[in-house]
């Protein structure tokens, strides 16, 4: 009996995959050239990319940075022996105007400082992983850097020294201790630095003061109004019940702002005069205008939108129908009609003789507009929440506001983050519409620059520059929303 085996006893050695399936070639075969359709698409796309790059790069690379007019640009380009090229002279000459509009040149440090401080103020709100020391370090760094651009003098030098020392100390603490050690220390009860959100809250009052100037006591008085409201609520809550205390806590500050704040500010100004040179709104322009309108409207529209969404979801019939009418009306009309209302009608609606600032009017309308959209986004989040969450909140015995604050809103807002951020982005882009009612935002400025005889006929450079300005903001906002979604994701895996 022969011993036959049909089963292989020794394994074949492993072999390298064929070169056509690995590396660059394999990747290309898999991703770019699998099938004739895909190959055709690849070739077309490559042709488009080549056409774009070949058209743009030589145009882009043009030595016209110092040209003073479109004519000069053309001469320079002709000398360089090129068919066409960008005329960067217009950007060189006008970029400060595109950023600040007609804001007085010697005061432009103020909006710049406000802009950088805005980021410092936003960091503790936006990012959880930045430590308190890092936040304060950034704040001191911005202030320290700003002192070098400001007016000189003994006070400035002292300030520089103080800030410099503070900066050095903070930097040392950041470098010297690492995160884990610090976390352990904090657990043991080491005193922490104050919460940077304090600065964020203060910045709300600081920003208008830096931008518009005037007496320092006006924003202080406005801030004082909030303190008064809080004090009234704390004192009266125990005495007359929460609802009455809440009503009084809203009424008192309003009375303070309407009647006493002006008196307070002028009295304090007489005692301790300090202020910045006032800048009227009509000088605002360029990106400064867009950011001012955008940021203010964004900050106010979120709470307003949440209230409207709650109103629309509520069981109270009148509140609900008022919210629905408001939301549907605002969402049914274009923003430009609301801006027309701001520019020609708002003064008719208000008591005779009232005449307030066009920027403020635009901000009001933009806020209302964004709030209606925000309300629908938040409502989507509320609707997406399982009913069990509401019932669980009720079962725990929470009252309406506690249930909203502790159970419903954190989840509903998380669901609606992408929508909220895209509303913000939309609002920021929509700030350009103010150019139609004659404000000089980047697009309005572009139009007037193109009307200048020196730059008549400029198209690509100017609009490209404006597009880039907006792209930087909106693109980073959308990336931030993706980051936030990742951070707040609680599912496993």
Partner 1 sequence: MTTLTDPAKGAFRLSMLIYDSRYRSITIQIIALIAVLTLIGWLISNTASNLADLGKQPSFGFLGEAAGYDINQRLIDYQNQDTHLRAAFVGVLNTLLVAAMGCVTATIIGVFVGVLRLSKNWVVARLMTLYVETFRNVPVLLWIVFTMAVLIETLPAPNQFRGATPEATMLLGDTVALTNRGFYVPEPLFSRSIGDIHLFGASPLRFDVSLDLIAVLATLIASFLIASLITRRADRIQAATGVRPRTWHWRLAVIVLPLAALLAGLGFYLGHPALKGFNFQGGVYMRNSLIALWLALSLYTAAFIAEIVRAGILAISKGQTEAAAALGLRPRRVMSLVILPQALRVIIPPLISQYLNLTKNSSLAIAVGYMDITGTLMGITLNQTGRELETILIGMLIYLTISLTISFVMNVYNDAVKLRER
Read off φ and ψ for residue 169, nearest 5 degrees: -65, -45
Q: Which of 149, 356, 475, 483 binds partner 1 (CB under 8 A)?
A: 475
- For residues 429-448, which are near partner 1 according to CB under 8 A? 429-430, 432-433, 435-436, 443, 446-447
Q: How many CB atoms lie within 10 A of CB 373?
A: 21
Whose CA is closest to 302, among 418, 424, 400, 434? Answer: 424
Our finding on whether 49 is near partner 1 (CB under 8 A) is yes
Q: Does 126 bind partner 1 (CB under 8 A)?
A: no
Contact with partner 1 (CB under 8 A) among 131, 237, 347, 454:
347
Question: Does residue 333 bind partner 1 (CB under 8 A)?
Answer: yes
The packing angle between helices 132-147 and 109-126, to 10°, is: 180
Residue closer to partner 1 by CB (options 263, 336) is 336
Site track for partner 1 across 152-191, x = CB under 8 A: ----------------------------------------
Residue 324 touches partner 1, criterion: CB under 8 A: no
Distance CA 132, CA 138 (A): 10
What is the number of other CB atoms lying within 10 angstroms of the CB of residue 477?
15
Residues in contact with partner 1, shown as a per-residue x/- string from 409 to 428 under the rule CB under 8 A:
----------------x---
Q: Are 419 and 369 in contact (CB under 8 A)?
A: no
**Contact window for partner 1 (CB under 8 A) among 32-40, 118-126, 143-151, 208-216:** 32-40
315 binds partner 1, rule: CB under 8 A: yes
Q: Is 463 in the site for partner 1 (CB under 8 A)?
A: yes
Distance CA 203, CA 472 (A): 23
Tell which one of 130, 260, 276, 345 touches partner 1 (CB under 8 A).
345
Residue nearer to partner 1 on the CB measure, 107 or 327: 327
Region of 112-120, 275-283, 343-351, 386-394 interacting with partner 1 (CB under 8 A) = 343-351
Rounded to the nearest whole angstrom, what is the least distance from the CB of residue 431 to partner 1 in the complex? Answer: 8
Backbone angles phi and psi of 63, in degrees to 5: -80, 55
Q: Smallest distance from the beta carbon of 31 to partner 1, in angstroms?
A: 5
454 is an interface residue for partner 1 by CB under 8 A: no
Coil/strand/helix, residue 71: helix
Rounded to 5 degrees, what are φ and ψ at 315?
Answer: -85, -15
Judged by CB under 8 A, the residue of 25, 254, 316, 396 near partner 1 is 316
Rounded to a whole number, what is the distance in angstroms from the first to the last CA of the chain? Answer: 59
| Piece in contact with partner 1 (CB under 8 A), picked from 11-19, 56-64, 192-200, 349-357 | 349-357
Element (H, E) at 244: helix 242-255
Dihedral angle computed from the Cα positions of residues 177, 179, 182 and 183, in that order, rounded to the nearest 10 degrees = -170
Regarding 42 and contact with partner 1 (CB under 8 A), the answer is: yes
Rule CB under 8 A: is residue 401 a binding residue for partner 1? no
C-alpha pair distances (Å), 193 with each of 136, 190, 198, 249, 322: 9, 10, 11, 31, 46
CB closer to partner 1 out of 30 and 185: 30
What does residue 275 show for φ and ψ, rounded to 5 degrees? -170, 170
Contact (CB, 8 A) for 209 and 222: no
Q: What are phi and psi of 101, to 5 degrees?
A: 70, -135
The tokens for 148 are: 């070098």
User: Does 474 help bind partner 1 (rule: CB under 8 A)?
Assistant: yes
CB of 94 to partner 1, least distance (A): 16
Q: State the pairing for strand pair 214-215/275-276.
A: antiparallel
Residue nearer to partner 1 on the CB measure, 135 or 431: 431
Q: Which stretch binds partner 1 (CB under 8 A): 112-120, 268-276, 323-331, 407-415?
A: 323-331
Q: Does 335 interact with partner 1 (rule: CB under 8 A)?
A: yes
Rounded to the nearest whole angstrom, what is the least distance from the CB of residue 140 to partner 1 in the complex?
33
Separation CA 272–CA 274 (nearest Å): 6
Q: Are 293 and 363 in contact (CB under 8 A)?
A: yes
| CB of 447 closer than 8 Å to CB of 435 | yes
Token pair, residue 437, equals 């009612």
Contact flag: residue 389 with partner 1 (CB under 8 A): no
Which segment (91-99, 219-227, 301-309, 467-475) binds partner 1 by CB under 8 A?
467-475
Residue located via tokens 């979801």: 313
When asked if residue 227 is in the footprint of partner 1 (CB under 8 A), the reply is no
Q: How far apart are CA 284 and CA 281, in angstroms?
A: 5
Positions touching partner 1 (CB under 8 A) are 31-32, 34, 38, 41-42, 45-46, 48-49, 241, 243-244, 315-319, 322, 328-329, 331-337, 340-341, 344-345, 347-352, 425, 429-430, 432-433, 435-436, 443, 446-447, 450, 457, 459-460, 463, 466-467, 470-471, 474-475, 478
């Amino acid at each position: 009996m022969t011993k036959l085996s049909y089963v292989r006893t020794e394994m074949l050695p492993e072999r390298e995959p064929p070169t056509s399936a690995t590396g660059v070639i394999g990747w290309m075969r898999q991703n770019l050239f699998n099938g004739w359709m895909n190959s055709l698409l690849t070739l077309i796309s490559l042709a488009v990319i080549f056409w774009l790059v070949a058209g743009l790069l030589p145009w882009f690379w043009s030595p016209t940075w110092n040209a003073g007019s479109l004519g000069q640009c053309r001469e320079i380009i002709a000398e360089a022996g090129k068919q066409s090229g960008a005329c960067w002279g217009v950007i060189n000459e006008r970029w400060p105007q595109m950023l600040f509009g007609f804001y007085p040149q010697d005061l432009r440090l103020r909006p710049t400082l406000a802009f950088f401080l805005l980021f410092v103020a936003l960091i503790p709100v936006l990012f959880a992983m930045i430590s308190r020391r890092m936040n304060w370090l950034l704040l001191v760094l911005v202030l320290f850097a700003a002192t070098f651009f400001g007016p000189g003098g003994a006070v400035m030098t002292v300030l520089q020294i103080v800030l410099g020392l503070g900066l050095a100390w903070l930097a040392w603490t950041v470098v010297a201790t690492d995160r884990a050690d610090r976390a352990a220390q904090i657990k043991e009860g080491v005193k922490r630095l104050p919460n940077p959100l304090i600065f964020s809250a203060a910045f709300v009052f600081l920003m208008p003061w830096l931008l518009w100037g005037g007496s320092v006591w006006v924003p202080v008085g406005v801030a004082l109004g909030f303190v008064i409201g809080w004090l009234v609520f704390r004192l009266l809550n125990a005495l007359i019940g929460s609802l009455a205390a809440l009503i009084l806590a809203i009424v008192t500050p309003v009375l303070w702002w309407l009647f006493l704040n002006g008196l307070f500010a002028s009295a304090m100004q007489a005692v301790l005069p300090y202020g910045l040179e006032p800048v009227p709104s009509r000088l605002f322009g360029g990106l400064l205008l867009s950011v001012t309108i955008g940021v203010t409207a964004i900050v106010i529209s979120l709470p307003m939108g949440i209230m409207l969404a709650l109103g629309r979801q509520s069981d109270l019939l009148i509140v609900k129908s008022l919210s629905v009418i408001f939301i549907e009306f605002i969402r049914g009309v274009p923003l430009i009609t609301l801006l027309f209302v701001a520019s020609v009608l708002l003064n008719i609606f208000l008591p005779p003789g009232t005449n307030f600032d066009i920027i403020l009017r635009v901000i009001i309308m933009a806020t209302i507009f964004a709030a209606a959209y925000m309300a629908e986004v938040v409502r989507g989040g509320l609707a997406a929440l399982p009913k069990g969450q509401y019932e669980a909140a009720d079962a725990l015995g929470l009252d309406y506001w506690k249930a909203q604050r502790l159970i419903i809103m954190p989840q509903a807002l998380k669901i609606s983050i992408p929508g909220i951020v895209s509303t913000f982005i939309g609002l920021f882009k929509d700030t350009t519409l103010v150019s139609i009612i004659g404000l000089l935002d980047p697009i309005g400025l572009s139009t007037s620059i193109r009307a200048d005889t020196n730059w008549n006929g400029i198209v690509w450079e100017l609009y490209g520059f404006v597009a880039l300005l907006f792209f930087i903001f909106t693109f980073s906002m959308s990336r931030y929303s993706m980051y936030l979604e990742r951070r707040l994701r609680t599912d496993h895996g």
